[in-house]
Structure 1
Amino acid sequence: MNFAALNHIVENNPELIEENVPAGGNAAAAVGVARRLLGINGNVDGLTENQRYHYENYIRPLIENVSCTGIFSSEGEDGCVGGGTIDDEDLEGCYILDEMLCQECQNVQDRMRDD
């Protein structure tokens, strides 16, 4: 679990969690679970079964193995020039910058801007 990314999302953009909950789901409960996780230092074992469901389905996809959006996206392809996921140590920065790019795609994008 990327605790720093979770903290950033909860404190600055809880809408990301809410948007990850399908219609008819309980978005407020998912945000509540995220806040609880922060309060228990990310200890998933401290969650109830229902809370764990919210974590696994609506929170975890935002803080673990997050896909790179790629810079060469086209119909049916992700456009990532790297491994397809954002490195854990880069994830919080991606949320801060609102650019969900892996390190390789960030490098290519920076080179393209410099040219």
Structure 2
Amino acid sequence: MNIAALRHVVENNPELIEGNVPARGNPAAAIGVAKFLVGNNGNVEALSENQRYHYENYIRPLVENVQCSGVFGPEDEDGNDGCVGNGRIDDEDLDGCYLLDEMLCQECQALQTRMQDD
């Protein structure tokens, strides 16, 4: 788990977690679990079964194995995803992606920079 990314989401954009919770779910509980994890340095072992459910379903997708949104958008005109890399954001880049509000892998970031420079 990328604890720096989770801290950023909890402190600056908890709506991302709320948006992962279905209408019949409990977004406040998911936010509470996220805050608990931040306060306990990401110690998932300290979670109860119910808390772990919230983590696995609503929080983990935001801090592990996060999908690149693609430099050409989530889908191009041919129906392909717009990522030019492996489709996933490297863990060490995730916090920066949340800071910049650009969910791009390294390859897509490099291509975007080259396109902007041209």
- Name the TM-score class by shorter chain: over 0.9
Q: Which runs of 5+ in 2 are unaligned?
A: none
Kindly provide the amino acid, as one letter, of the partner of residue 39 in structure 2.
Answer: G
In structure 1, C-alpha distance between the alignment counterparts of 2:64 and 2:89, rounded to whole Å: 9
Partner of 2:76: 74
Normalised TM-score (structure 1): 0.97
- Structure 1 residue 2 displacement after superposition: 0.2
Instruction: Give 1:95's match in structure 2, choosing from 94, 98, 107.
Output: 98
Match of 1:106 in 2: 109
- 1:110 CA displacement: 0.2
Name the amino acid aligned to 1:27.
P
Q: TM-score, normalised by structure 2?
A: 0.95
* Pairing 1:21-36 to 2, within 5 Å after superposition: 21-36=21-36
Q: How does 1:40-79 map to 2 (within 5 A)?
A: 40-72=40-72, 73-74=75-76, 76-79=79-82
Q: Which amino acid aligns with 1:84?
A: G
Q: What is the DSSP-based 3-state SS (H/G/I as helix, E as strand, rest coil) of the residue aligned with 1:24?
A: coil
State the 1:41 CA deviation: 1.2
Letter of the 1:91 counterpart: L
- Give the secondary-structure state (helix, strand or coil) at the position aligned to 2:70: coil
Q: Do structure 1's residue 7 and structure 2's residue 7 form an aligned pair?
A: yes
Distance 1:37 1:113 in 2: 38
CA-CA distance at 1:77 after TM superposition: 2.1
Hey, which bits of structure 1, 4+ residues long, moved more than 2 A?
none
User: How many residues are paired up?
Assistant: 115
